[in-house]
Chain A
């Protein structure tokens, strides 16, 4: 299955992926409308210390600990893609505790959110990958 991989060698910590992510999942067709004067809730986040930086998002683990930890049955797996049903999520934070990568986070509404490879929004292909100016984020089969 194609997944998102990051290459810290080329990450410039420009945070553009975060903006593209928040826009892609806003449901709006205009980026300015989607992001201007609003707090950003991206599902991919750039980690940085010193000169090293890279974007972190869900790795879609083959043994997803978040799924096992979910007390509400909100996290499910379909063909390798780990998705969260925000209607079912009760906001207990168990998945956040369980995820070794810090790839889940609370959304604007308080329930959890995670990267679903843009498969569940209107974009279809990961927008962070398309928007990365230096190919530090790639979407490929490995």
Chain B
């Protein structure tokens, strides 16, 4: 048996399936004459571009060594002066609702409190699967997410590729997305989901659109996206009808009209430099939920330079948005959902303590489905049957297996969340949200602490 190391992408398929663990993948010791400035990767990129004349494509979140602020925040626990709570013996609430909250109590003519609120999304666990389109991921991957969301009482997101007719049955646990390409958008689609998300941007590629090559637009995808067979699916960089908050407001209300004001509207943006001002605008646009995607978020394909250099960390974006909305007194207008590399239950906990209502996870979900982060989704040859449309490969992911693994992952995270919340003496997501006193920074300087709105450990 021979292996061609130039073709190995380190996907671990062979390693995982070998019953005697006889295989391992080792790093080649072949190397360029590197130095601190001209690293091997940089040199290789230049060779690749000199050969192709094209934009370098990349997949999944940026691998660059930027600071991960989740790892620089520590969580509090109760000792002596306040009791911790044992989640196995006492009630612990991880259910939460997303949507506009009433700021004043209103009464009807008879003095009774009006209990009707704006439409809400009910989450049993403050975690949702973020947008991945049918096209960028396979039918079986989508089905795994849908089945898992249904069982967990949470939501998955169609992404911008429309909703396959087989998945309308999971509508109660589906967020349908309207992106700049408007693929697969029709009244039936808008009304099929529990909420509608307007995608303005994506953390992995802020400011640019998307491109699903015609080779991936087979029969099913062409029908779902409502575009001709084998035509390229190009999402423009901007929504051509949105050039201001007022324009956004028009789309928000157009979608509300189309769904008779029964579904919350989410506006998803990438975390960029002036994110707090943008979020303030969105909170005034009539949107119910703001989703912010940090620069470490994943993608099925993005220009490498954009992915690795554009955007800001989600931790800083979240802290500044939550703070800004509170200062302006409009935090209750919207719920905040953050994504962009939420890797564990402690990341979820810290995000909520920083001010999020819930989180979006996608890379973690794909890893649960078998993804080994080989980061070659853009080749369309995913060995795990996730980021591919090749029927032979898609078959490798049995949705029964996939959904069970997803349910296991999120259930495990929920147990851990409860444990850590109990340790802090907190018994509900509502009491944890924005509770920054529960966080302390470690190894952070003054500016970072100020933006995060937390004290340094020991202070």
Of B219-227, B318-326, B396-404, B426-434, the segment with at least 4 beta carbons within 8 Å of chain A is B396-404
Q: B391 near A: Cβ within 8 Å?
A: yes
Q: A91 near B: Cβ within 8 Å?
A: no
Chain B residues with CB below 8 A from A31, complex form: 19-20
Chain A residues with CB below 8 A from B391, complex form: 51
Q: B455 near A: Cβ within 8 Å?
A: no
Complex Cα gap A32–B22 (Å): 9
By the criterion CB–CB under 8 Å, are B400 and A12 in contact?
A: no
Of A40-48, A57-65, A93-101, A133-141, the segment with at least 4 beta carbons within 8 Å of chain B is A133-141
Say whether chain A's binding surface is mostly helix, strand, loop, or mixed: loop
Instruction: Give A9's nearest chain B residue, CB to CB.
Output: B395
Q: B17 near A: Cβ within 8 Å?
A: yes
Chain B residues with CB below 8 A from A14, complex form: 17
Chain B residues with CB below 8 A from A51, complex form: 391-392
By the criterion CB–CB under 8 Å, are B398 and A10 in contact?
A: yes
By the criterion CB–CB under 8 Å, are B392 and A19 in contact?
A: no
By the criterion CB–CB under 8 Å, are B398 and A16 in contact?
A: no
Instruction: Give A33's nearest chain B residue, CB to CB.
Output: B20
Give B contacts to A, CB under 8 Å: 16-17, 19-20, 22, 391-392, 395-398, 400-401
Known contacts A9-B395, A12-B395, A51-B392; A131 and B400 CB within 8 A of each other: no
By the criterion CB–CB under 8 Å, are B401 and A135 in contact?
A: yes
By the criterion CB–CB under 8 Å, are A134 and B398 in contact?
A: yes
Instruction: Give A20's nearest chain B residue, CB to CB.
Output: B19
By the criterion CB–CB under 8 Å, are A131 and B401 in contact?
A: no
Instruction: Give B370's nearest chain A residue, CB to CB.
Output: A133
Complex Cα gap A31–B22 (Å): 11
By the criterion CB–CB under 8 Å, are B19 and A131 in contact?
A: yes
Give A contacts to B, CB under 8 Å: 9-10, 12, 14, 16, 19-20, 23, 31-32, 51, 131, 133-136
By the criterion CB–CB under 8 Å, are B20 and A32 in contact?
A: yes
Known contacts A51-B391, A51-B392; A19 and B19 CB within 8 A of each other: yes
Complex Cα gap A9–B395 (Å): 7
Known pairs A9-B395, A134-B396. 15 more at Cβ < 8 A? A10-B395, A12-B395, A12-B396, A14-B17, A16-B17, A19-B19, A20-B19, A51-B392, A133-B17, A134-B395, A134-B397, A134-B398, A134-B401, A135-B400, A136-B398
Complex Cα gap A31–B398 (Å): 26
Complex Cα gap A91–B395 (Å): 40
Instruction: Give A136's nearest chain B residue, CB to CB.
Output: B398
Chain B residues with CB below 8 A from A136, complex form: 398
By the criterion CB–CB under 8 Å, are B398 and A135 in contact?
A: yes
Q: How far is the CB of A2 from chain B (nearest CB, A)?
A: 18
Complex Cα gap A39–B22 (Å): 19
Complex Cα gap A3–B183 (Å): 46
21 A-B pairs, CB-CB below 8 angstroms? Answer: A9-B395, A10-B395, A14-B17, A16-B17, A19-B19, A20-B19, A23-B19, A31-B19, A31-B20, A32-B20, A51-B392, A131-B19, A133-B16, A134-B395, A134-B396, A134-B397, A134-B398, A134-B401, A135-B398, A135-B400, A136-B398
Complex Cα gap A125–B105 (Å): 62
Complex Cα gap A51–B390 (Å): 12
Instruction: Give B140's nearest chain A residue, CB to CB.
Output: A10
Q: How far is the CB of B147 from chain A (nearest CB, A)?
A: 14
Complex Cα gap A9–B391 (Å): 11
Q: How far is the CB of B443 from chain A (nearest CB, A)?
A: 42
Closest 8 CB pairs of A and B: A10-B398, A134-B398, A31-B20, A32-B20, A135-B398, A135-B401, A133-B17, A19-B19
Q: How far is the CB of A90 from chain B (nearest CB, A)?
A: 34
Chain A residues with CB below 8 A from B396, complex form: 12, 134
Complex Cα gap A23–B20 (Å): 11
Complex Cα gap A60–B271 (Å): 60
Instruction: Give A35's nearest chain B residue, CB to CB.
Output: B20
Q: How far is the CB of A81 from chain B (nearest CB, A)?
A: 26
Q: How far is the CB of A8 from chain B (nearest CB, A)?
A: 10
